[in-house]
Amino acid sequence: MQRDIRQKWFFQHPPQTVWEFLTNPEILSQWLMENDFQPIIGHRFRFNAKPRVKIGFDGIIFCEVLEIVPLKKLSYSWRGGPGKGKITLDSVVTWTLTPTDNGTELLLEQTGFKGMRNYLPYLIMNKGWSTNIKNRFTSIINSHETSAH
């Protein structure tokens, strides 16, 4: 059985601003995690988080940029596990931006949570994206817009 995460968020900011928050590594580290991201197809990068040994996560997420459609779509692999090269989660994160009259709709999809071993990571990440990450993204993007004026 496979589970997928799908969440839509709305921001009263133009796609250019939302895109910058997804592709600028310094800003990305403020709301998601420390990283060495570059918006180049094929670029391999890492997110670094706090290890959670009890659930078999060493804190390193191995990624590779799969697709870029500027201001519209960003997709990258998202792989992690307990460490020493063992990968127990092999998923793909896709961000899709849709401009609206008063801002941008942002769709997050994370696919590839396969089997029972990925059930707990699915639950944790689904909740994390919908609460912690959304709140941090919203807070940072709103403070960025305020400081820009």
89-141 pLDDT, tens per residue? 999 999 999 999 999 999 999 999 999 989 999 999 999 999 989 999 999 99
3-state SS class at 119 = helix
Question: Counting beta carbons within 10 angstroms of the beta carbon of residue 11, is it exposed (0 to 12), middle (13 to 18) or buried (19 or more)?
Answer: buried
Helix, strand and coil in the chain, % to nearest 5: 35, 40, 25
Q: Cα(93)–Cα(65) distance, rounded to whole angstroms?
A: 10
Residue 45 has pLDDT above 90, yes or no: yes
Residue 43, CA distances (Å) to 2, 18, 52, 109 in order:
27, 21, 26, 20
Domain range annotation of the chain: 2-147
- Encode pLDDT of 127-148 as tens digits: 999 998 999 999 999 887 656 5
Q: Does the domain formed by 2-147 have CATH 3.40.50.1100?
A: no
Q: Cα(104)–Cα(141) distance, rounded to whole angstroms?
A: 12
Give Cβ neighbours of residue 128 (< 8 Å, ≥ 6 apart): none
Tell me the whole-structure pTM to 2 decimals. Answer: 0.93
